[in-house]
Amino acid sequence: MIILAAAAGKNNELGRESGVPLWNLPDEYARFRKSIIGHPIIIGRKSYDVIREPLKGSLNIVITHNKDYNGNGALVVHSLEEALEKVKAEKIIYIIGGGYIFEMALPIADRIEISRIDASFPEATAFFPAFSTNEWTLLSSSKHDIDSRHKYAFTYEVWERKNRNLSI
């Protein structure tokens, strides 16, 4: 199963050019880390340049056109197809962004795990792709309110592709 895991603002904002995060939501990040642990993750080069080193507990695969890219411990590949080939024996594969990689992977994804942040971020330069409720079913939704550690409320949603091939 291929899962897209993201957090996005009201206008699908994911991040900005500088890489400085648009929000700091510790419970959201902790849930994300817990969900990917033990599964391979596929990430775009720009997003990997933000984290700079592999996320522990997962095989990290970075996609770049650059044949000389130093993955600093991550596996470096040059297409989504090559990334998926490396992990074809795995039952669960997480694709964790950014915008270019989500856009490329949306047509082949089985599930979307997305935290919808209840705020807008005009400075964003990377966006989650639009997807249609004609093609996706909302399986679950749970809200996290604003509190002393969370400046914005967010709703964690799990979407599944309609009519997906249940053998995978």
Ligand X SMILES: NC(=O)c1ccc[n+]([C@@H]2O[C@H](COP(=O)([O-])OP(=O)(O)OC[C@H]3O[C@@H](n4cnc5c(N)ncnc54)[C@H](OP(=O)(O)O)[C@@H]3O)[C@@H](O)[C@H]2O)c1
- CB count in 10 Å sphere of residue 97: 26
Please tell me whether residue 138 adopts helix, strand or coil conformation: strand
Could you say whether residue 100 binds ligand X (CB under 6 A)?
Answer: yes
| Stretch of residues binding ligand X (CB under 6 A), selected from 52-60, 96-104, 136-144, 154-162 | 96-104
Of residues 112-131, those binding ligand X (CB under 6 A) = 126
Could you say whether residue 106 binds ligand X (CB under 6 A)?
Answer: no
Nearest to 4 by CA among 146, 136, 142: 136
Of residues 28-87, those binding ligand X (CB under 6 A) = 44-47, 50, 63-66, 78-79
Please tell me whether residue 83 adopts helix, strand or coil conformation: helix
Smaller CB separation from ligand X, 7 or 106: 7
- CB count in 10 Å sphere of residue 82: 13
Could you say whether residue 95 binds ligand X (CB under 6 A)?
Answer: no
Could you say whether residue 105 binds ligand X (CB under 6 A)?
Answer: no
Q: How many angstroms separate the CA atoms of 120 and 16, rounded? A: 13
Could you say whether residue 14 binds ligand X (CB under 6 A)?
Answer: yes
- The DSSP code for 7 is E
List of residues contacting ligand X (CB under 6 A): 6-8, 14-16, 19, 44-47, 50, 63-66, 78-79, 96-101, 104, 126
